[in-house]
Structure 1
Amino acid sequence: MSLQHNRTLDILSKAEKGGYGILSQVCYDAQSAIALVRAAERTRSPAILQLFPVTLAYGNGPFLNFCLYLAHQATVPIAVHLDHATDPEHLELVLGLAEAGIAFDSIMVDASHAETDEGNIIIAKPYVDRALKLGIAVEVELGRLEGGEAGLRMISDAKLTNPIKAEAFIQGTGALILAPSIGNLHGSYLKPPAFRLDILDELHAKFKGRIPLCLHGTDELPDVLFVECIDRGISKINVNSWARDPYMKCLAEGLQTKPLPDAIEEATEAFASVCERLFILFRSAGKA
């Protein structure tokens, strides 16, 4: 299959040229996926519906099929992405589904746990090659983010991205999207984040128009830092708890007092309202 009309790459390319960011929102269930699409259509924003491997393993092909149909039939451009595919069983699952005709638009082949950048390349490249042949764009991480999220491997030894090594790393893996480590982390920040924005500047100067940059570790970031990262070249912004936590709180409270359909609708709107705020903050609203 060809990457010529790949949804993720098309969405990110337009975002970089237009100077806005794309919300890549983690969805855990049908309601959150519906909420993201609903919010994107209301604000006329492109978006990325993102799954974790644990969710894919739980729902398997039927849930992925649901997400693909939901995203691809939307009236705005929405791609479906698999985040942090690290373990061989998850990578084999996603590639096997793609070979059977149920393919993500893009996946992250995450070998950042390797001891060296060279080790990262050795682990990632075979999977990247297989994914590209199936028309799936691939994201990789240069350096290593600390922390962990739902169902993801816990990392305790962060390593900043070295921009000097970035070109060789991208060429070595064959990947098309780069996630840098700039002081960002997965989970809660114990102190205010101190991002190395100079690393973003170097990477953007090196890859502008060729390789989109993705920001991980966005829980609890102040709005001003989101905007600054977009201004310095970030086009894909991974978000998890910002929408997830209000959704779960609203659903848990609603189930105590409301009929199930009403509780689900209220929680769906709670998720959607966060997405709408982020579309506006990232300047993607009205860009679809």
Structure 2
Amino acid sequence: MPLVPVTELLKKAEEGKYAVGAFNVNNMEIVQAILAAAEAEKAPVIMQASQGAIKYAGIEYIFTLANLAASQATVPVALHLDHGTSFEQCMKCIRVGFSSVMIDGSKLPLEENIALTNRVLDVARATGVSVEAELGKIGGTEDDIHVDEKDAFFTDPEEARYFVEKTGVDSLAIAIGTAHGQYKGVPKLDFARLEKIAGLVNIPIVLHGSSGVPDEAVQQAISLGVRKVNIDTNIREAFVYACRQVIEKDAKEIDPRKVLGPAREAATQVIREKIRVFGSSGKA
């Protein structure tokens, strides 16, 4: 089936009170792992590409791999730009065929973030592409984007209400205590803030930096209105660890298939576990 907009998946997630997993892609094996996991769990799935992935693999390769996966799938698949930081980048992704984009104006003053989001929305609405925005900074590092802990601040509920009122954006990423990358300790999420925001905005909430957040905390966030959960670091960890194991076992191994095959399998298992945690298993 063709790639579907994220809005379509999140609307059903809202009705069923579960979340859809959004998994970052960097290469063919990870695309295959995401699809294999989604098929095994009979779950809708979002493949997403960050700026780093696009720089590494090329936008056409990313689109072609995801589009091929979707065309062979029996489950709904979306392709989403993760943390687009400019109007131009969002337009490139829409032009090539992404079904969803994120415009991350969270570093801008509120009114500038609103104006940038609306610019992207004008084009996206005309092309049937869904749009995610971000309010409040999520700490840590994701590819080229780094937010120091001291600069990370939680999303203000009233600002969130105003932002959604002024944009009509499809989904909103908020900062409630998660971070990109590997955690130094166990993150503590601000559930009261999440509950307040969800009650004011009436659109699906997105949780970034969810690798390393305990399953119970993720499930509590889902019960309070989170409908899209982003996972990247956990996939990288499983993938690279499996590669390392093969090479440590046989330092003379030179067949990339024998190195990357077990890595693909390890990534598939992690993604299946996440899908079950998010409650989207069997929801395709």
| TM superposition score normalised by structure 1 | 0.89
Secondary structure at the residue paired with 1:148?
A: strand
Q: Report the counterpart of residue 10 of structure 2 in structure 1.
A: 12
Of 26, 35, 38 in structure 2, the residue corresponding to residue 37 of structure 1 is 35
User: Is the deviation greater in 232-241 or in 156-165?
Assistant: 156-165
8 Å CA contact 1:140–1:178 kept in 2: the answer is yes
Query: Any stretches of 5+ residues in structure 2 without a counterpart?
Result: none
| Residue 131 (structure 1) shift | 2.5
Q: Report the counterpart of residue 182 of structure 1 in structure 2.
A: 176
CA distance in 2, matches of 1:155, 1:131: 31
CA distance in 1, matches of 2:112, 2:78: 30
| Residue 190 (structure 1) shift | 3.4
CA distance in 1, matches of 2:237, 2:125: 34
Of 174, 199, 204 in structure 1, the residue corresponding to residue 198 of structure 2 is 204
CA distance in 2, matches of 1:94, 1:218: 23
Structure 2 residue identity aligned to 1:170? V
Of 90, 96, 120 in structure 1, the residue corresponding to residue 92 of structure 2 is 96
For the pair 1:244 / 2:236, whether they are aligned, the reply is yes
Of 143, 148, 154 in structure 1, the residue corresponding to residue 141 of structure 2 is 148
- 1:20-51 deviation digits (Å, cap 9, x = unpaired): 11110111111001100001101111111111
Instruction: Mark the CA change 1:204 to 1:97 in structure 2 (over 3 Å): closer, same or farther.
Output: closer
| Residue 65 (structure 1) shift | 2.1
Q: Report the counterpart of residue 115 of structure 2 in structure 1.
A: 122
CA distance in 2, matches of 1:28, 1:232: 31
Q: CA RMSD in A?
A: 2.0
Moved over 4 A (4+): none
8 Å CA contact 1:21–1:283 kept in 2: the answer is yes
Q: Report the counterpart of residue 110 of structure 1 in structure 2.
A: 104
| Residue 72 (structure 1) shift | 4.2
8 Å CA contact 1:72–1:79 kept in 2: the answer is no
| Residue 165 (structure 1) shift | 2.3
User: Is the deviation greater in 28-37 or in 69-78?
Assistant: 69-78
CA distance in 2, matches of 1:39, 1:205: 32
8 Å CA contact 1:6–1:137 kept in 2: the answer is no
Secondary structure at the residue paired with 1:190?
A: coil
8 Å CA contact 2:5–2:129 kept in 1: the answer is no
| Residue 13 (structure 1) shift | 1.1
CA distance in 2, matches of 1:190, 1:63: 31
Instruction: Mark the CA change 1:44 to 1:104 in structure 2 (over 3 Å): closer, same or farther.
Output: same
Within 5 A, what are the aligned runs for 1:250-265?
A: 250-255=242-247, 257=250, 258=253, 259-265=255-261
| Residue 94 (structure 1) shift | 4.1
Tell me the number of residue pairs that the alignment of Structure 1 and Structure 2 aligns: 276
8 Å CA contact 1:71–1:80 kept in 2: the answer is no
